[in-house]
Amino acid sequence: MEKKVTDFSGKWTMKSSEKFEELLKALGVNIVTRKIAAAAASSPAVEITQQGESLSIKTSTSIRTTLVSFTVGQSFNEATVDGRPCTSFPKWETDSRISCEQTLQKGGGPKTSWTRELTNDGRMMLTMTAGDVVCTRIYERQ
C-alpha cells in the first residue's frame, strides 16, 4: 500500500519571516549583500509542483530565480541560501514535514539544513538553519 504523501503543490506567498538576516550573518555573508538579499527576499514567490515523492520548488525574487528539483529519499545537488554548492538529503520527518540535511561539497562553514512543513491551518512553514540560527518563514497558498 502506497503511503499518502502531503501535497505541497501550489503558488505560495510569504506572510512572515524571522531571522533571515541573522541566518545570512551566521553564514558569513557581508553586510551589504545581507541588506540587498534581505530586501529582495522579503517577498519571494514560491511555486511548487509535486508528483508523489518528487518535488520542484521555484523561488522568485527581484534579484534571482532558483529552481530545485528532488525526490524525497534521494540525495541531490543544490546551493545553500548563500550560494555554496552542497549535497542535500531530503526525508519525510512526519507525514507533513520534509527535512533536508545539507553537506557542503567543499570548504567549511556552519551546518545547514531546511525543513518544509504543511501546518494544520494549510500554511507552509519553511525553516532554514545555519549553525544555531533558525530562520522561520510562513507561506500561504494563493
CA torsion, ordered 127, 129, 30, 36, to nearest 10 deg: -10
Residue ranges of the chain whose pLDDT lies below 50: 1
Q: What is the pLDDT of residues 45-85, one digit of tens each?
A: 999 999 999 999 999 988 889 999 999 999 999 999 888 99
Q: What is the pLDDT of residue 81?
A: 86
Query: Residue 125's CB: how many other CB atoms inside 10 A?
Result: 16
Residue 82 lies in a domain: yes
Q: Which of 79, 123, 119, 122 is nearest to 100 (CA)?
A: 79
Total count of domains within the chain: 1
Residue 5 lies in a domain: no
Q: Rounded to an integer, what distance in angstroms lies between the CA atom of residue 98 and that of residue 114?
A: 8
What residues make up the domain containing 29? 10-141
Q: Rounded to an integer, what distance in angstroms lies between the CA atom of residue 11 and that of residue 32?
A: 30
Check which CATH number belongs to the domain holding 17 and give it. Answer: 2.40.128.20
Residue 2 lies in a domain: no
Residue 4 lies in a domain: no
Q: Rounded to an integer, what distance in angstroms lies between the CA atom of residue 5 and that of residue 96?
A: 7
Q: What is the pLDDT of residue 1?
A: 44
Residue 132 lies in a domain: yes
